[in-house]
Amino acid sequence: MAGVQVANLSRSFGAHKALDDVSIDFADGGFYALLGPSGSGKTTLLRQIAGFDFPDSGRIAIGGESVERVPVEKRRIGMVFQNYALFPNMSVADNVAFGLSVRGEAKATIASEVQRALDLVQLGKLGARRPHQLSGGQRQRVALARAIVTKPRVLLLDEPLGALDKALRVDMQIELKRIQREIGITTIFVTHDQEEALTMSDRIGILRDGRLVQEGPPEEIYDKPKSEFAATFLGDANILRGETTGTGIRLADGTAIAAGAGATLAAGAKASCAVRPERIRIGTDSGTSDPNANMLRGQISKRIFAGNNSTYFVDRDGQTIKVIVQNTGVEKLAEGQKVVLRWSPESTVLIAASQDMD
Amino acid sequence: MAGQVVTGSRSGLRSALPLLLPAYLWLTVAIFLPLSAMVFFSFMTELPLSGRAWSFTLDNYATFFSQGLYWTLLLASLRLGLEVTLWCVVIGYPAAYVLAKVFRGRSREAIFLLVILPFWSNGLVRIFSWAMVLREGGILDTALNAVLPFKINIDLMYSYPAVIIGLVHSYVPYMVLTCYLTLQAIDDSLIEAGRSLGASRLQMLKRVIIPLSMPGLVAGAALIFVPVVGSFMEPRILGGRTGTFYGTVIEDQFVAVFNWPLGAALSFILLAVVLVILALASPVLKRVA
């Protein structure tokens, strides 16, 4: 087991910069999610760490040892592929045994290790089956057992749950997390599913166009996004744009929005504020209980009822603000109704305008 | 509802019939009828076309068993088939692997074209080209003497190796194509998974790639072995005096000696032997595939 350090890693394919000066420290024993849209470079980064491809420049270290020129078969990593990549010509047990047997381990050792790995993924009785006789979730578990049975230094997962249906995916998330805790292996997990990244990982790295946008624990990125992209890609966010006053922004119509978190900016620059839909309170009264709260008026253009909560789309000065309200049985607002939106400055994040935003 | 389904499938069959008919008609006319005639001939004393009296006999088959020469030639032909098939595997499989797994896009198309090219040239032209290359003072001889500092004399013409070279050249594309198809179907992530587990390239080849491409190897071997055992053109032209094989003897019966009944009988004995070999091999091949 070992941590992984990636420093100033760059990789281009022709004119396309797949990775552009990426540095991340993956702590020993941590569960790390690399999150980003397709083409963001997250899979390229994983393949660099695995050793399928070598960087143009930069450094990769596993357990303190530089490996950027070491081929994959010598890196002692475990990898789970999106399509599982089980060998169709072998039984489940032989698939799991593969890594130990190419290493030349004794037959008895292999048999007991394989059984232990299959028990760990709760497939102890299916060793004799062929991969095509298994369900998607079972294949996933076999792929995981095969990857960890060799006791790799780091476990790499390339969108491993992408091919599973929703219910099974949630089961596997819990299962994967349990196994990872049990063996304590450093795990790097590539996904484009923000919910998966939030629920499973200790830390998240958000990538975009080959660059690391933001990196940190899920709560930190969710509560204090540093860019509009991070705010909108991880979770839902309302973005209000204007000129900064230093501690907030002034909208085009002169309304001041106070921010309790985020960047410190020189007054006058272009900036935006992000606020999560579930942090906004919606009501019809104009009286205010909290004089410091941010306040906007608008009109409900649409309401989507989703059982335990409702989403309101509130139009205001040409912008639509999304508000999510828990179904407490009290609030009942109709489309077309004029409303007042309130939220605290602490729930507002000030973000510097960046050139890469649309 | 059920009635509709039945009607649907019946009309499906009716619409399929015009599509199937040409192929089956052609097979009946072009293969089944002549072959039946040949079976008939093989039990005759004389060719009926000559106008002479004829009767049914088993003598033609008896000739094969009574004369050791035919056995010897059959064994030689089987050995030839085996050797040519092996060389085709040795040459064709690596080429198919490189085509399927190394080249991509346009360069793959170009190299593919080079593999198919022998198919587009006339068989006889191909064999005579080899004759020009292999004979004493031929292209190979001249080229080697131009490069090498010492004088060597290569005269492969009219020898067993010349027959092998000609046959391998004719049949290696089959092996490349059948192996290419199965190799290409192997997902690249399987190879990556194996490497991530620490397997060397050789271990991957032995334990994953060859087992998964076995159907292609088997199909290629069957496509090559059967016609090579009965081949006569390459042995005759490139083998000369040493090129007497079972296939050339059958050809002689038809075009030189005009003993069609014996030629037909020898053909069907070959067919039977080949079928027995394939039947014996199939359980083994099925297991490895």
The CA distance from A159 to A81, in Å, is 7
* Mean per-residue pLDDT, A69-92: 94
Q: CB A122: neighbour CB atoms within 10 A? A: 13
Query: Which of A74, A81, A103 lies nearest to residue B193, judging by beta carbons?
Result: A81
Closest CA to A121 of A88, A66, A69, A80: A80
Query: Considering only alpha carbons, which residue of chain A is nearest residue B204?
Result: A102
Asked if the model's pLDDT at residue B4 lies above 80, the reply is no
pLDDT of residue A209: 94
| Cα dihedral sign, B13-B17-B18-B23 | positive
For domain A4-223, say whether CATH 3.90.1150.10 is its number: no
Q: Identify the band that residue B51 occupies on the pLDDT scale cut at 50, 70 and 90.
A: confident
Say how far apart CA A94 and CA A90 lie, in whole Å: 6
Class of domain A235-352: mainly beta
Report domain extents, chain B. 68-288
Considering only CB atoms, which chain B residues are within 8 Å of A88?
212
Q: Which residues have a Cβ under 8 Å from the Cβ of B50 and sit 6 or more positions away?
A: none
pLDDT one-digit tens code per residue, A30-39: 999 999 999 8
Structure tokens that stand for B275 in this block: 């079928």
- Cα separations in angstroms, A219 against A28, A223, A234, B190: 20, 6, 10, 37
B89 near B175, Cβ under 8 Å?
A: yes
Range A46-52 average pLDDT: 96
Interface test mutation site (partner A, options B196, B202, B214, max chain A beta carbons within 10 A):
B196
Partner-chain contact A73 B211, CB within 8 Å: no
Please give the residue of chain B at the shortest CA–CA distance from A147. Answer: B197
User: Maximum CA pair distance of chain B?
Assistant: 86
Chain A / chain B CB contacts < 8 angstroms: 64
Nearest CA in chain A to B189: A85
CATH number of B68-288: 1.10.3720.10
CB contact under 8 A, B197 and A146: yes
Residue A155's alpha-carbon distances to A137, A147, B241, B252, in angstroms, are 18, 7, 66, 69
Taking CB atoms and an 8 Å cutoff, what residues of chain A touch B192?
A: 52, 72, 79, 81, 85
| Position with higher pLDDT, A49 vs A167 | A49
Chain B closest-CA separation from residue A104 CA (Å): 10
C-alpha dihedral sign at A39, A45, A46, A50: positive
| Out of A9-13, A80-84, A281-285, least confident range | A281-285
Residue B213: strand, helix, or coil: helix
For A349, counting Cβ atoms within 10 Å of its Cβ (0-12 exposed, 13-18 middle, 19+ buried), the class is buried
Give the tokens for residue A173: 């998330």
For A146, nearest residue in chain B (alpha carbons): B197
Nearest to A96 by CA among A42, A143, A39, A136: A143
pLDDT digit string (tens) for A262-274?
667 777 788 899 9
Burial of B65 (0-12, 13-18, 19+ CB in 10 A): exposed
- Predicted confidence at residue B188, as pLDDT, reads 93
Q: Which residues of B touch A77 (CB under 8 A)?
A: 196
Higher pLDDT, residue A353 or A343: A343
Q: What chain A residue is nearest to B198 in terms of C-alpha separation?
A: A73
Q: Do B196 and A77 touch (CB under 8 A)?
A: yes
pLDDT value at residue B106: 86
User: Alpha helix locations (H) across chain B?
Assistant: 2-27, 33-41, 59-66, 68-101, 105-120, 123-134, 139-147, 160-184, 188-196, 201-204, 210-229, 233-239, 246-255, 260-288
Chain B residues touching A85 at Cβ < 8 A? 187, 189-190, 192-193
For chain B, the distance separating the N- and C-terminal CA atoms, rounded to the nearest angstrom, is 43
Q: Do B192 and A72 touch (CB under 8 A)?
A: yes
- Compute the average pLDDT of residues A291-307: 89
With contact defined as beta carbons under 8 Å apart, do A280 and A274 qualify? no
Give yes or no for residue B34 having a pLDDT over 70: yes
Residues A191 and A212 sit within 8 Å (Cβ to Cβ)? no
Does pLDDT of A55 surpass 60?
A: yes
Give which of A198, A256, A189 is closest to A225, Cα–Cα. A198
A73–B200 C-beta distance less than 8 A: yes
Mean pLDDT of chain B: 87
Antiparallel, parallel or unpaired: β A309-316 and A294-305: antiparallel
Binning pLDDT at 50, 70 and 90, where does residue B11 land? Answer: low
* CB atoms B196 and A88 under 8 Å: no
- Rounded to a whole number, what is the distance in Å from the CA of B285 to chain A's nearest CA? 14
B50 pLDDT band, cuts 50/70/90, is low
- Best probe of the A interface among B188, B197, B201, by most A CBs < 10 A, is B197
Cα separation, A199 vs A174, whole angstroms: 9
CA distance A50 to A76: 9
Closest-CA residue of chain A to B214: A89
Is the confidence at residue B6, as pLDDT, over 50? Answer: no
Name the residue among A50, A74, A89 with its Cβ closest to that of B211: A89
| Cβ contacts of B112-116, under 8 Å, gap ≥ 24 | B115/B173, B115/B176, B115/B177, B116/B173, B116/B177
ipTM of the complex: 0.84
State residue A358's pLDDT score: 43
Bigger pLDDT: B152 vs A119? A119
Residues of A whose CB is below 8 A from B195? 52, 71-73
In chain A, CATH 3.40.50.300 covers 4-223
- Per-residue pLDDT tens digits for B217-231: 999 999 999 999 999
pLDDT for B49 beyond 80:
no
**Residue B243's pLDDT band (boundaries 50, 70, 90)?**
confident
A150/B189 Cβ within 8 A:
no
Q: What percent of chain A has pLDDT over 70?
A: 96
CB nearest B189 (choices: A77, A85, A147): A85
Hey, are the CB atoms on B196 and A79 less than 8 Å from each other?
yes
Of A76, A85, A103, the CB nearest to B190: A85
Averaged over B188-193, what is the pLDDT?
95
H/E stretch holding A313 reads strand A309-316
C-alpha–C-alpha distance, residues A89 and A101, integer Å? 16
Of A144-153, A165-174, B187-196, B210-219, where does mean pLDDT reach its minimum? Answer: A165-174
Residues of B with Cβ-Cβ distance to A98 under 8 angstroms: 194, 197, 199, 207
pLDDT exceeds cutoff 70 at A86: yes
What's the pLDDT score for residue B182?
Answer: 94
